[in-house]
Amino acid sequence: MGRLLSFRPDPPYWGERLDAVLAAHGCYASRSAAARAVEEGRVTVSGKTVAKKHAVQATDFIVYEADEEAAPLRVCGEPIPLDIRFEDDEVIVLSKQAGLICHPAADHPDGTLVNALVYHCGADHLCNVQGEDDRLGIVHRLDGDTSGLMLAAKTNEAGEALMQAIREKAVERRYLALVHGVIGPDTGMVDAPIDRSLRDRTRRCVREAPSARESITTFRVLERFDAEPGDDGYTLIDCKLFTGRTHQIRVHMEYTRHPLVGDPMYTSGAPKAPRASLGLARQFLHSFTLGFEHPETGEYLEFFDELPEDLQTALDGLAPRSMGKTPFWDETFAPGLAQKTASDSDVAAEGGRA
C-alpha cells in the first residue's frame, strides 16, 4: 500500500471532474491513472468513495493513495552528437537539435541531452544543482521539438550562478517563431500567468489560479506574409523570455490567437487546412540568441544560431508572399551576424572563449 496523502481543492478546481483534478494536482501521472485509482477505491472524498466523474466541491476533503515511487533512473552516457558552440571548464553552450529531449523521464528513459552530456563530459564533471541524478548539467530546458541554443554547466558553482542569473532575468534568451495570422503592431507583450491544464496534465494554459505562475513574453515583428486560400497569412517574430515556464511561448502565442506554425499541441486559432502547417512536423520555434555573463570570468558572452534546414525551408517558401520586413529585421540580423555565428563555432571547436 502506498502513502496516504490529502488536500482540499483550490477554487479553480471546483466543479471539475475528480480524475481531472487529481491529475492536474500531480497526484497521478495522467488522468487515466487517476481514473484507475478512483475505480480501485484508492481515493476517497470526505470519507466516501465516489465516481471518477464526481464534481469536486469547495468542502471536499480528498484523500488518495500515492503510487509507489519508481526507482531512481541511472543515467548512462550515450554517443549522441552534440553541436557545441563553446566549452570550458565551467560552461557549455550548444545548439540542441529538434527531437532531442533534455532529460530522462518515465516515457523516454534514454536518448536524451543528459545522456549525451554524460558521454561527453562524464557524470562527475557535470553540475547537479537540481538534486536529481537524471538532470546532470541542466540549468534550463528547451521543449523536445524546439531547436537552438541552450546552456549546460559542468560545476555546481557555475550551475547555481547561471540559474540565479536566469531567475534575475540577466540571461538574454531570444527565439525566432513563425505564427499563424498577420500581427498588426510591430511589438507586443504577453503578461499572462501560466498553469497546468485541468483537462490534460501535459498541456499548459493561461488562467488565473493560486498555482499559476507569472509569465512574461515580449515580441517584435520581423516580417509579415500575405494570406492565401487555406491559411490566414503568417508573421515571423523575435520573442524574448522574461520568465521560463514550460511551453511559455507556445502557450502565450496561442492565447493571442496566433499559434505557432506546425505546433501539434497548441492549435487554437490555427487554420484547419493541413497545408497551413507548411509541411512542418514540429513547431516553428528556434532559440537563436543566447547572452550571459560567464560565472567564473564575468565576461559577457553572446551567441547566435541560424535556422535549421526544416524551418528555413518553410520560411523560404513564403518569400513570394512577403509584405515587407520591419525595421527590426536589420536590428535583429545585423550585418556580420552570420560571420559572428561562424566565428563562435570556430572558437568553440578550438576550445577557447568567444
CATH of the domain at 227: 3.30.2350.10
In terms of Cβ atoms closer than 10 Å to its own Cβ (0-12, 13-18, 19+), residue 6 is exposed
Looking at the fold, whether 196 and 313 belong to one and the same domain comes out as yes
The owner of cell 499563424 is: 180
Looking at the fold, whether 9 and 35 belong to one and the same domain comes out as yes
Check residue 342 and give its pLDDT: 36
Q: Write the pLDDT tens digit of every residue in 21-67.
A: 998 888 887 788 889 899 988 999 999 999 999 999 999 999 999 88
Looking at the fold, whether 200 and 315 belong to one and the same domain comes out as yes
Distance CA 300, CA 79 (A): 31
Looking at the fold, whether 227 and 159 belong to one and the same domain comes out as no
Q: Which amino acid is at 253?
A: M
Looking at the fold, whether 209 and 343 belong to one and the same domain comes out as yes
Which of the residues are catalytic? Answer: 143
Distance CA 75, CA 86 (A): 24
Check residue 340 and give its pLDDT: 40
Looking at the fold, whether 178 and 296 belong to one and the same domain comes out as yes
Residue 291 cell numbers, joined: 547572452
Q: Which helix (H) or strand (E) holds 167?
A: helix 156-167
In terms of Cβ atoms closer than 10 Å to its own Cβ (0-12, 13-18, 19+), residue 206 is middle
How many domains is the chain partitioned into structurally? 3
Note down pLDDT in tens along the chain; length 354 residues.
578 899 998 888 899 999 989 988 888 877 888 898 999 889 999 999 999 999 999 999 999 998 876 555 578 999 999 999 999 999 999 999 999 999 887 678 889 999 999 999 999 999 998 767 789 999 999 999 999 999 999 999 999 999 999 999 999 999 999 999 999 999 999 999 999 888 787 899 999 887 889 999 999 999 999 999 999 999 999 999 999 899 999 999 999 999 999 999 999 999 999 999 999 999 999 999 999 999 999 999 999 999 999 999 999 999 999 999 999 999 888 644 433 433 343 333 333 333
* Inside any domain, residue 77: no
Looking at the fold, whether 209 and 270 belong to one and the same domain comes out as yes
Check residue 71 and give its pLDDT: 54
Check residue 353 and give its pLDDT: 32
Looking at the fold, whether 90 and 178 belong to one and the same domain comes out as no
pTM of the model: 0.78
Distance CA 117, CA 353 (A): 19
Check residue 134 and give its pLDDT: 83
Task: Provide the residue range defining the domain that includes 324.
Answer: 172-350
Looking at the fold, whether 199 and 256 belong to one and the same domain comes out as yes
Check residue 308 and give its pLDDT: 97
Average pLDDT, rounded, for the chain: 89
Which residues are 44's β-sheet partners?
A: 63
Query: 26 Cβ partners below 8 Å, 6+ apart?
Result: 196, 201
Distance CA 90, CA 94 (A): 14
Residue 98, classed as helix, strand or coil, is coil
Rg (CA), the chain: 22
Looking at the fold, whether 185 and 160 belong to one and the same domain comes out as no
Start-to-end C-alpha separation, the chain: 55
Q: Which CA distances in Å does 34 have to 41, 53, 72, 195, 274? A: 11, 11, 22, 19, 34
Check residue 105 and give its pLDDT: 77
Check residue 354 and give its pLDDT: 34
CA atoms within 13 A on the CB side of 149: 25
CB 96 within 8 A of CB 117: no
Check residue 327 and give its pLDDT: 95
Check residue 174 and give its pLDDT: 96
